[in-house]
């Protein structure tokens, strides 16, 4: 079976490189993936998939039925892009201003289409049902996964949900697995610090919201350094500060945006409550006030230990033990997490790096690109894992 899958994957690589380049050149933002959705539906029909359904506004669910009844599994890819202007100088660079596949969702989508083509060719070799889920809106809360689940993609609950994510720190041809808790939860923090503006030369006549905001940012890190359990991965970062003053003008208010991430749901709830109380107390103690809004995002990704152990061993069979890596917890977040809390799931990393070719830019950067040989690895491995999961 490995030989058959690798032969099909090798023969079809050129075709799916072109698919990936089409998707990369025509990215669409979260929940606006109308052309991408149409392309996926047409392509699934083109390669002879048994059943193709649109889910919600822009999701797609394909169905491959094996030779006989059996288990059901779900393979998932996300399809949306990011609001980033590309700096690539390739023929397939984004045609859409301030929209780019800088997180590799074009690769995820292509890999699943590629895997679908392989599996459809081999469907007489297995029993059961494979659901192919092309999910919108991973990059924007509340996450497209929530909508897909509401639409019933997990009914009946599949015996396994498989997904992959490109990773520029891993060389092409290699993959990475982690059992148990893998990726962090994610919450958005919005704080407006209010004071009393005035002349920068007379701070005694003001209640300086810039100073207050700085204290909140600095002292809030105590949640990470002095309150959280050192064994629990935790990140608190502020990435946006707006104080509309000037060289000699202290503004009336300052606006902050940040993110909180961890892998413990009890600590997550406790920490956010402490953050809210701390920010309010600091502002009031310095004569000002603050309004804090917290939007709860995705939970942490949990990889079923039993399923992931099997998948890792199968990956070693398919790729060779030297090409299957153990991963640390990754503090990025993913709405694949929602599936992982409702069904046995595994989410693994696909290497796309090629330093010799200059392909090593990070995710969410304007120069992100991949070594396209990763498509052959990603699609072939996903097909191999799917067939074996159906066999049990």
Q: Roughly what angle, to the nearest 10 degrees, separates helices 34-46 and 2-25? A: 150
Q: Roughly what angle, to the nearest 10 degrees, separates helices 374-391 and 105-121? A: 50
Catalytic choice (139, 147, 334, 372) = 372
Estimate to the nearest angstrom the gap between the alpha carbon of 93 and the chain centroid.
21
Using CA atoms of 226, 229, 232, 235 in order, give the dihedral in degrees to the nearest 10.
Answer: -20
DSSP string, 259-291: EEEES-HHHHHHHHHHHHHHHHHHHHHTT-EEE
**In the prediction, which pLDDT does 329 show?**
97
Beta strand pairing call for 129-135 and 72-78: parallel
Residues whose CB falls within 8 Å of the CB of residue 43, separated by 6 or more in sequence, listed in order: 19, 113
Using CA atoms of 90, 91, 96, 102 in order, give the dihedral in degrees to the nearest 10.
Answer: -40
Told to judge if 92 belongs to the known catalytic residues of this protein, a careful annotator would answer: no
pTM over 0.75: yes
Distance CA 58, CA 328 (A): 33
Distance CA 371, CA 360 (A): 9
Catalytic choice (28, 33, 139, 298) = 298
What b-and-e string marks burial along 196-212, b requiring 16 or more CB atoms within 10 Å of the CB?
Answer: ebbeeeeeeebbbbbbb
Distance CA 348, CA 69 (A): 28
Residues 208-256 have pLDDT tens digits of 999 999 999 999 999 999 999 999 999 999 999 999 999 999 999 999 9
**In the prediction, which pLDDT does 355 show?**
97
Q: Which domains occur in the chain, in start order? A: 2-183+299-391 (3.40.630.10), 187-296 (3.30.70.360)
Residues 312-335 have pLDDT tens digits of 999 999 999 999 999 999 999 999
Beta bridge partners of 135: 78
Told to judge if 204 belongs to the known catalytic residues of this protein, a careful annotator would answer: no
**In the prediction, which pLDDT does 259 show?**
97
**In the prediction, which pLDDT does 392 show?**
77
Residues of the chain with pLDDT under 70: none
């Amino acid at each position: 079976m490995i030989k058959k899958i690798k032969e099909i994957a090798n023969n079809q690589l050129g075709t799916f490189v072109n698919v990936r380049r089409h998707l990369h050149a025509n990215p669409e933002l979260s929940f606006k993936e109308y052309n991408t959705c149409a392309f996926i539906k047409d392509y699934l029909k083109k390669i002879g998939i048994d059943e193709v359904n649109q889910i919600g506004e822009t999701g797609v669910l394909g169905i491959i039925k094996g030779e006989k009844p059996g288990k059901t599994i779900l393979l998932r890819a996300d399809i949306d892009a990011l609001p980033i202007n590309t700096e690539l100088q390739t023929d397939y660079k984004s045609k859409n201003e301030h929209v780019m596949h800088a997180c590799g969702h074009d690769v995820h989508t292509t890999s699943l289409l590629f895997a679908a083509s392989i599996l459809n060719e081999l469907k007489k070799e297995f029993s059961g049902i494979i659901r192919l889920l092309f999910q919108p809106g991973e990059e924007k809360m509340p996450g497209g996964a929530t909508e897909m689940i509401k639409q019933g993609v997990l009914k009946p609950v599949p015996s396994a949900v498989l997904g992959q994510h490109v990773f520029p720190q891993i060389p092409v041809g290699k993959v990475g697995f982690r059992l148990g808790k893998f990726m962090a939860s994610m919450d958005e923090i919005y704080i407006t610090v209010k004071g009393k503006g005035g002349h920068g030369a007379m701070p005694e006549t003001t209640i300086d919201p810039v100073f207050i905001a700085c204290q909140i940012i600095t002292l809030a890190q105590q949640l990470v350094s002095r309150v959280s359990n050192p064994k629990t991965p935790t990140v608190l970062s502020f990435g946006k500060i707006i104080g509309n003053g000037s060289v000699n003008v202290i503004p009336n208010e300052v606006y902050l945006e940040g993110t909180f991430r961890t892998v413990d749901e009890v600590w997550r709830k406790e920490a956010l409550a402490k953050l809210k109380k701390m920010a309010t107390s600091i502002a009031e103690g310095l004569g000002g006030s603050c309004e804090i809004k917290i939007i709860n995002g995705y939970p942490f990704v949990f990889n079923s230990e039993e399923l992931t152990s099997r998948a890792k061993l199968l990956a070693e069979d398919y790729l060779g033990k030297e090409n299957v890596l153990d991963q640390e917890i990754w503090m990025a977040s993913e709405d694949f997490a929602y599936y992982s809390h409702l069904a046995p799931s595994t989410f693994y990393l696909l290497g796309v790096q090629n330093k010799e070719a200059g392909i090593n830019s990070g995710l969410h950067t304007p120069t992100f690109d991949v070594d396209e040989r990763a498509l052959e690895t990603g699609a072939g491995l996903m097909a191999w894992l799917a067939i074996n999961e159906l066999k049990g």
